[in-house]
């Protein structure tokens, strides 16, 4: 059952009491001092998982039939690690991303982030965790058509309490990093599909997330821009300690990431 066309839930939440905005999202880095991927040369000991799924089951009803999409799935991702999730169309890859990111509850099983089971959190706390810790890049970019590129990328920061000037100051370098320095004032309708996808990636990085969940992030890009996006994802993971889970059919991107997993029969296998 394909879920890729479903628009995501609103991920942002207002700033909570005593919370501050993350350090400058212009650097789009994860937690300071985080190590690179496990086993990388010159890195320290393994860090605790930033995201861990245990026994995930997801089923859907179609008339009298129960469709099992995920069946006891296990997954663990550490800071600085990047992994590709491959699989046939309709195998549940997008559904897995929604569950990992706190957008859709599993039928059973748990998702833990930093030792907390996220679906045990009250809805407001879950929304706040999702807004501050997770960056999403969906197969369809879901940009706001009435806002230009700079405003779209600044939106998560504005919803988290940043002033307009502060949000723009953090958003502008992200757009420059994805090659859109000359498109800041363009609305989505005046941009190509590839440009819109790069705006979506910049928006996903605006809050300096600990986890990036990407669904075909290079699907609409030409070779040069796909390579730029690939390199940026790897740089942010390995250099900034961000964990990246990327659903992709792009063999070159998958080969660049630290691990390759195949979703088949509701579970993940080394690919």
Give residue-wise pLDDT tens across range 127-137: 999 999 999 98
Question: When comparing pLDDT for 165 and 250, which is higher?
Answer: 165
Structure tokens at 208: 């300096």
Structure tokens at 84: 């590709």
3-state secondary structure of 261: strand
Dihedral sign, CA of 25, 218, 134, 53? negative
Percentage of the chain with pLDDT > 90?
56
- pLDDT for residue 203 is more than 70: yes
| pLDDT (tens digit per residue) in 127-170 | 999 999 999 988 777 899 999 999 999 999 999 899 999 999 99
- Cα 122 from chain centre: 22
- pLDDT for residue 24 is more than 50: no
CATH code of the region 51-270: 3.40.50.300
**Average pLDDT of the chain to the nearest whole number:** 82
- pLDDT for residue 229 is more than 50: yes
Percentage of the chain with pLDDT > 70?
83
Q: Of the ranges 227-231, 241-245, 259-263, which one carries the lowest mean pLDDT score?
A: 227-231
The predicted model gives 110-133 an average pLDDT of 94
How many Å apart are CA 105 and CA 120, to the nearest integer? 10
* Phi, then psi, of 171 in degrees rounded to 5: -75, -35
- pLDDT for residue 264 is more than 50: yes
The predicted model gives 60-72 an average pLDDT of 91
User: Model's pTM, two decimal places?
Assistant: 0.79
């Amino acid at each position: 059952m394909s879920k890729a066309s479903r628009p995501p839930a609103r991920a942002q939440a207002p700033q909570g009491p005593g919370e501050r905005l993350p350090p400058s999202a212009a650097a789009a880095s994860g937690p300071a001092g985080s190590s690179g991927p496990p086993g990388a040369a010159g890195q320290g000991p393994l860090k605790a998982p930033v995201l861990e799924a245990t026994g995930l089951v997801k089923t859907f009803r179609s008339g009298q039939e129960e469709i099992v999409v995920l069946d006891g799935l296990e997954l663990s991702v550490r800071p600085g690690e990047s992994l590709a999730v491959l699989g046939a169309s309709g195998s549940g890859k997008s559904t897995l991303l929604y569950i990992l990111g706190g957008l859709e509850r599993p039928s059973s099983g748990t998702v833990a982030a930093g030792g907390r089971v996220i679906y045990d959190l009250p809805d407001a706390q879950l929304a706040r965790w999702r807004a501050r810790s997770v960056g999403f890049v969906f197969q369809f970019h879901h940009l706001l058509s009435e806002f230009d590129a700079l405003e779209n990328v600044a939106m998560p920061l504005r919803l988290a309490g940043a002033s307009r000037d502060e949000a723009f100051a953090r958003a502008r370098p992200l757009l420059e990093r994805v090659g859109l320095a000359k498109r800041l004032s363009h609305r989505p309708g005046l941009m190509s599909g590839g440009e819109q996808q790069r705006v979506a990636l910049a928006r996903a990085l605006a809050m300096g997330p600990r986890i990036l969940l990407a669904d075909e992030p290079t699907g609409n890009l030409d070779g040069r821009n796909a390579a730029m996006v690939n390199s940026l994802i790897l740089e942010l993971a390995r250099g900034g300690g961000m964990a990246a889970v990327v659903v992709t059919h792009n063999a070159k991107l998958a080969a660049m990431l630290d691990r390759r997993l195949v979703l088949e029969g509701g579970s993940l296998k080394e690919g």
